[in-house]
């Protein structure tokens, strides 16, 4: 499945909105089959921060591990956020 | 009458270029460029034609938002802010941050817009994260910007980094130590939550781009700019309980 992050907004900065996105998306995530790849598409996202990402991408990564693929990560704040989360 | 004369003279004191460079946290070369471009004109004086500036002009240039935010952060009794710079809740901050982002988009590249908005968003949201339910007097933050002066200012009257980090790092002794930890280590004042990347993220962006940051919490202050490897944390002249951040972004078209 593909998760279009821009559907949650294009300025993704706060922890509560990241957590809200994660919770709201649970019904969809619960329907994913056991070997399905999850593509996270950052296309259209203008601003991302570690606060938002830590509430959405971190639990997604913990739940689905290597089945998660990140696409269109060329936005500078997306790159900087992913770099910080990888160090964590 | 005497007092009036005295104040006028003080305000119109002449400042040499080196002093202005220090006050504005830019290089002398930058000031010469701004002079040529008419952004901050100097006047020449003395036999060698050195550049001088009126203090009143520099104060104006420093922009009122710096002064207002510092007064608000420092005041022992809460000062009522104008509603256009006061964000009592996170929702108000998010809406104004997006307005800032869209205004910046008109004059700047997507790279600059993305990164400046991200660090402002991270700093502002940090204030809410670390003070939720614990605001000493006024909830929320000061958030204002001057696109013309390439500057964003954020402040809060929260508990400050020392108070929040000392809960999980009891060996911390003062604001300077706490600030250093916040900018260099992955740690959170909200343990056991796995969090605390915010100011490391801000630092990484500042040092890798044509930006600079002034940050104060308690009696510790930090100047950070592109290319800085070390953290230059100093004792501030005055103390604040919460945090004050001034982001300057150059390199715009």
Using the beta-carbon criterion (under 8 Å), do B125 and A75 form an inter-chain contact?
no
Q: ipTM score of the complex?
A: 0.94
B213 cis-preceded (ω within 30 degrees of 0): no
The correct CATH number of B2-60 out of 3.40.50.2000, 3.30.420.40, 1.10.3720.10, 1.10.1660.10 is 1.10.1660.10
Which among B98, B198, B201 has CB closest to A80?
B201
Q: Which of B117, B125, B201 sits opposite A14 (nearest CB)?
A: B125
- Of B38, B36, B42, B45, which Cα lies nearest the Cα of B57? B42
A81 in Cβ contact with B197 (< 8 Å): no
Partner residue facing B118 (CB), from A17, A49, A83: A49
Strand A47-48 relative to strand A11-12, pairing: parallel
* pLDDT given for residue B193 in this prediction: 52
Tokens of B142: 């000061």
Contact (CB<8Å) B114/A46: yes
Q: Tell me the nearest-neighbour CA distance from A45 into chain B, angstroms.
A: 9
Domain boundaries, chain A: 2-27+36-87
Q: How far is CA A35 from CA A1, A22, A62, A69, in A?
A: 11, 20, 15, 13
Q: How far is A33 from chain B (nearest CA, A)?
A: 28
Q: Which residues of chain B have pLDDT under 50?
A: 1-9, 194, 252-253
Q: What is the dihedral of CA B190, A49, A15, B151, to 10 degrees?
A: 90
Helices B198-207, B175-184: inter-axial angle, 10-degree rounding: 70
Residue to test with chain A: of B87, B104, B112, B121, most A Cβ within 10 A: B121
- Return the residue of A nearest to B100 by Cα: A11
Does the pLDDT at position A66 exceed 60? Answer: yes
Q: Which residues pair with B151 in a beta bridge?
A: B146, B248
Exposure string of B58-92, with b = 16+ CB inside 10 Å and e = fewer, is beeeebebbebbbebbbeeeeeebeeebbbeebee
Q: What is the pLDDT of residue B188?
A: 59
Say which of B90, B117, B200 has its CB closest to residue A47.
B117
> Residue A57: how many CB atoms within 10 A of its CB?
23
Chain B's closest residue to A52, CA to CA, is B122
- Would the pLDDT of A53 be above 90? yes
Q: Enter the tokens of residue B171.
A: 């060996």
pLDDT at B4: 41
Mean pLDDT calculated for residue range A9-38: 94
Nearest CB neighbour to A80, from listed B115, B126, B129: B115
Residue from A6, A51, A85 whose CB has the most chain B CBs within 10 Å, to mutate: A51
Close Cβ partners of A66 (under 8 Å, ≥ 6 residues apart):
none
Burial grade of A4 (CB within 10 A; 0-12, 13-18, 19 or more): middle
**Strand B50-54, strand B14-16: pairing:** antiparallel
* Best CA proximity match to B240, nearest among B125, B159, B173, B169: B159
Q: What is the pLDDT of residue B236?
A: 92
Q: Do A75 and B90 touch (CB under 8 A)?
A: no
**Beta-carbon count within 10 A of B123 CB:** 25
Average model confidence (pLDDT) across chain A: 94
CATH T-level assignment (fold) for domain B63-249: Heat Shock Protein 90 (3.30.565)
State how far residue A5 is from chain B, nearest Cα, in angstroms: 16
Is A29 touching B (CB cutoff 8 A)? no
Q: What is the pLDDT of residue B9?
A: 46
| Separation between Cα atoms, residue A15 and residue B88, nearest integer Å | 17
- Which one of B105, B143, B201 would you mutate to disrupt binding with A, by most A Cβ within 10 Å of its Cβ? B201
Mind telling me how many Å the CA of B17 is from chain A's nearest CA?
Answer: 35
pLDDT at B146: 86
SS3 A16: helix
Tokens of B65: 């938002």
Q: What is the pLDDT of residue B56?
A: 81
pLDDT for B6 equals: 42
Angle, nearest 10°, between helix axes B198-207 and B110-131? 150
Backbone angles phi and psi of A12, in degrees to 5: -105, 95
A83 vs A87, B117, B200, B239, CA distance in Å?
Answer: 7, 17, 11, 34
């Amino acid at each position: 499945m593909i998760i279009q992050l821009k559907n949650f907004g294009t300025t993704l900065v706060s922890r509560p909105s990241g957590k809200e996105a994660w919770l709201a998306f649970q019904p969809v995530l619960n329907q994913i089959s056991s070997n399905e790849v999850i593509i996270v598409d950052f296309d259209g996202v203008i601003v991302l921060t570690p606060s938002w990402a830590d509430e959405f991408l971190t639990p997604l990564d913990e739940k689905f591990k290597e089945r998660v693929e990140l696409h269109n990560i060329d936005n500078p704040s997306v790159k900087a956020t992913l770099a910080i989360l990888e160090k964590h | 009458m005497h007092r009036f004369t005295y104040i006028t003279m003080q305000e119109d004191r002449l400042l040499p270029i080196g002093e202005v460079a220090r006050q504005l946290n830019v290089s002398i070369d930058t000031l010469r460029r701004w002079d040529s471009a008419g952004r901050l004109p100097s006047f020449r004086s003395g036999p060698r034609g050195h550049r001088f500036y009126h203090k009143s002009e520099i104060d104006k240039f420093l922009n009122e938002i710096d002064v207002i935010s510092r007064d608000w952060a420092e005041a022992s009794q809460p000062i009522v802010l104008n509603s256009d710079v006061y964000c009592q809740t996170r929702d108000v901050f998010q809406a104004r941050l997006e307005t800032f982002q869209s205004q910046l988009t008109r004059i700047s590249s997507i790279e600059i817009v993305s990164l400046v908005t991200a660090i402002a968003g991270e700093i502002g949201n940090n204030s809410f994260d670390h003070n939720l339910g614990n605001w000493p007097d006024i909830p929320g933050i000061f958030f204002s910007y001057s696109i013309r002066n390439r500057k964003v200012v954020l402040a809060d009257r929260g508990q400050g980094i020392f108070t929040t980090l000392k809960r999980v790092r009891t060996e911390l002794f003062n604001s300077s130590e706490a600030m250093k930890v916040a900018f260099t280590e992955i740690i959170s004042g909200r343990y056991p939550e796995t969090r605390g990347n915010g100011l490391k993220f801000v630092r990484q962006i500042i040092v890798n781009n044509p930006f600079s940051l002034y940050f104060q919490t308690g009696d510790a202050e930090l100047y950070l700019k592109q290319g800085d490897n070390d953290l230059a944390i100093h004792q501030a002249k005055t103390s604040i309980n919460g945090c004050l951040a001034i982001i300057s972004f150059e390199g715009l078209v």
